[in-house]
Amino acid sequence: MAEKRKKILFIVEAMGGGVFTYIVDLANELVKTYDMYVAYAVRRQTPDNYSDYFDKRISLIEVKNFGRSISPTKDIKAFFEIKEIAGKVQPDIIHLHSSKAGALGRFAFNGRRIPLFYTPHGYSFLMKNHSAVKRRIYKAVETVCGKRACTTISCSEGEHQETLKLNKKALYVNNGINEEKLERVLGGIEVEEHQFTVFMLGRICYQKNPALFNQVAEAMPEVRFLWIGDGELREELKSPNIEITGWLDRKSALERAMSADVFLLTSLWEGLPISLLEAMYMKKLCVVSNVIGNRNVIVNYRNGFVCDDVDGFVKAVKSAQTGAVDALINTAYQDIMNKYNTSVMAEKYSEIYMNRLPETMREGTA
């Protein structure tokens, strides 16, 4: 007689952007072994057809009171809503994703009877678009929540080091991409002859530091720059050699990326960016800012370039123009195949989950 599959409940507030991709890819891998439930909130960046991205075996449950900003009334309602959802699902494991879910969930559940995990996807207190006062408050909240019976699983080694400053119940599993799914899209793209191009793919927002991207473009007026995406700070990309595509569908965005040469990521902070991993897989030279997340993936002169200022970015881009960067590009690609993919990621998460389950419950998950 087959053993009953274990149930995993993901509780996700920030289901947009890179977090959305991460949740989809991880849940779609884990559902091969576990019964998967995803309790989520829709954000402005959440695709309209988000349910189509998930394996049909995954149960999706909307949390109607989740909100990004602090709202005592809605947060209290969300607290009881996620408790009610867990009561109906009766999960064997609960995994909280993003700061809001992490704060509410670590008090909604005690982590003793049901193993409890939390993944920040970028700590709010490290986000430089918040005031110093807000960042201190966010850090205090994380410190208090860190005393609960919950294991924090960070998405990168850099985020893990920040976690260890808050509590010692911490592990990390590197973010990864679904290379098979990405290859299915890329396989239908024909790369045409093109002018040497430096590109970025993502939202034009404070975190991605479009002002620095613009400075690099201004310093290299003879080079074509391309920002694939859109956002509230598009006016900061004013150098005449920058093209902004606006929002494109997935295939169109990747078509533009494939017809470029250097991926330039000027972020002020990162967790472990999916766009960077995808660029590595597409065999684009990756030139990134010297911040947590970026420098945990890209090692200077090994698989790309890590830069501190405009001059450093310009020098790195010029090195790509000489064509003497093939070894770096190939090393970055091998890193994706060996370390930063969803198969490896799901395997490591499953091992962590299993180690926390009572011994009597570990049978029958395969």
Evaluate whether residue 196 is within a structural domain. Answer: yes
- DSSP notation for 302-320: TTBEEESSHHHHHHHHHHH
- Model's pTM, two decimal places? 0.84
Assess whether pLDDT exceeds 60 at residue 332.
yes
Residues 27 and 146 both lie in one domain: yes
Of 277-286, 334-343, 357-366, the range with the lowest mean pLDDT is: 357-366
CA–CA gap between residue 82 and residue 105 (Å, rounded): 8
Assess whether pLDDT exceeds 60 at residue 359.
no
Assess whether pLDDT exceeds 80 at residue 189.
yes
Of 14-18, 86-90, 300-304, the range with the lowest mean pLDDT is: 14-18
Maximum mean pLDDT: which of 29-43, 56-70, 111-125, 347-361: 29-43
Distances (CA, A) of 99 to 49, 120, 121, 169, 315: 25, 6, 8, 17, 37
Mean pLDDT of 44-64: 92
Assess whether pLDDT exceeds 80 at residue 44.
no
Residues 322 and 189 both lie in one domain: yes
- Amino acid letter, residue 32: K
pLDDT of residue 357: 87
Evaluate whether residue 2 is within a structural domain. Answer: no
Q: Which domain holds residue 239?
A: 179-338
CA–CA gap between residue 110 and residue 249 (Å, rounded): 41
Assess contact for 197 and 284: CB atoms under 8 A. no
Residues 229 and 349 both lie in one domain: no
pLDDT of residue 211: 98
pLDDT of residue 360: 46
Residues 138 and 199 both lie in one domain: no
Residues 334 and 293 both lie in one domain: yes
Structure-token pair, residue 350: 């499953």
Residues 222 and 357 both lie in one domain: no
CA–CA gap between residue 204 and residue 243 (Å, rounded): 13
Of 49-58, 122-131, 220-229, 258-267, the range with the lowest mean pLDDT is: 122-131
Residue 212: pLDDT band by 50, 70, 90 thresholds? Answer: very high
Evaluate whether residue 366 is within a structural domain. Answer: no
Rg (alpha carbons) of the chain, rounded to whole number? 21
Three-state DSSP class for residue 177:
strand
Share of the chain above pLDDT 90, in %: 68
CA–CA gap between residue 303 and residue 353 (Å, rounded): 32
Residue 249: pLDDT band by 50, 70, 90 thresholds? Answer: confident
Residues 307 and 172 both lie in one domain: no
Evaluate whether residue 118 is within a structural domain. Answer: yes
- Strands in the chain per DSSP E: 7-15, 35-42, 59-62, 93-97, 116-119, 151-154, 170-172, 197-201, 224-228, 242-244, 262-265, 285-289, 305-307
pLDDT of residue 224: 98
pLDDT of residue 3: 67
Evaluate whether residue 52 is within a structural domain. Answer: yes
pLDDT of residue 1: 43
Assess whether pLDDT exceeds 90 at residue 37.
yes
Residues 188 and 271 both lie in one domain: yes
Assess contact for 217 and 239: CB atoms under 8 A. yes
Residues 53 and 197 both lie in one domain: no
Structure-token pair, residue 199: 């590109």
Residues 169 and 273 both lie in one domain: no
Number of domains in the chain: 2
Residues 345 and 236 both lie in one domain: no
Give residue 140's Cα distance to chain centre. 23
Mean pLDDT of 195-220: 96
Assess contact for 152 and 120: CB atoms under 8 A. yes
Question: pLDDT, tens digit, for every residue of 104-159?
Answer: 999 999 998 899 999 998 787 777 777 788 888 888 889 899 999 999 999 888 88
Assess whether pLDDT exceeds 50 at residue 322.
yes
Residues 352 and 206 both lie in one domain: no
Evaluate whether residue 100 is within a structural domain. Answer: yes
CATH number of the domain where residue 172 is located: 3.40.50.2000
Mean pLDDT of 303-328: 95
Mean pLDDT of 69-91: 92
* Sheet hosting strand 59-62, strand order edge to edge: 59-62, 35-42, 7-15, 93-97, 116-119, 151-154, 170-172
